[in-house]
Amino acid sequence: MAARLSLSIFTIVFTVALICSDLRADQKDGRLPALFSRLAEADTKPVAARLESQIWGIWLEPPAAPDVTDTLRRGLSAMALSQLTDALRAFDAIVVKAPEFAEGWNKRATIRYILGDYEGSIADIQRTLALEPRHFGALSGLGLVRLALDRPADALQAFEAALVIHPFIVDPENIKALREQVRGRPL
């Protein structure tokens, strides 16, 4: 009886562990708050780059939803190969299959920006930021979209918000030039 009870408890614990290990990380991952705290305090570019890489690694772990992992892999591969239509199709599918996965929206925002669909990109960035307000990549992307739309003051606002989270996300000379432009000083 005791052996059977031990085996049952082991089976339950093993099953729970198996289920939990199948869960994916994303913007809700418990490791992120500490990484963001350390990133905000990073005093060198290499330290910030290492923390940024860890954060991106977590953000790119899709939730356990049907076919999302393979679709994300296809989308990222198509993106890397500049096969933008294929990448857009993949990210379109991801936001349908996993609408709470911030990185699906962010990747689609990036593709839309590259394709010149600035309003679509902004909509996806807003969804990304609603899911992950600390998404420095989306904030930086929002700055780029606003620059493309010739809205330098709005771009500066987005870049400065990104800098609060990631102190090395924007080149200091570029942000200085943009600040001077917005404040009306000659470049």
CATH number at residue 56: 1.25.40.10
Domain total of the chain: 1
The per-residue pLDDT for range 61-103, each reduced to its tens digit, is 988 877 899 999 999 999 999 999 999 999 999 999 999 999 9
The list of the chain residues with pLDDT below 70 reads 1-26, 185-187
Domain of 109 in residue numbering reads as: 26-182
What pLDDT, on the 0 to 100 scale, is given for residue 185? Answer: 61
What pLDDT, on the 0 to 100 scale, is given for residue 5? Answer: 35
What pLDDT, on the 0 to 100 scale, is given for residue 25? Answer: 52
In a domain, 19, yes or no: no
122 token code pair: 């902004």
In a domain, 93, yes or no: yes
In a domain, 146, yes or no: yes
What pLDDT, on the 0 to 100 scale, is given for residue 64? Answer: 81
In a domain, 2, yes or no: no
In a domain, 20, yes or no: no
What pLDDT, on the 0 to 100 scale, is given for residue 26? Answer: 67
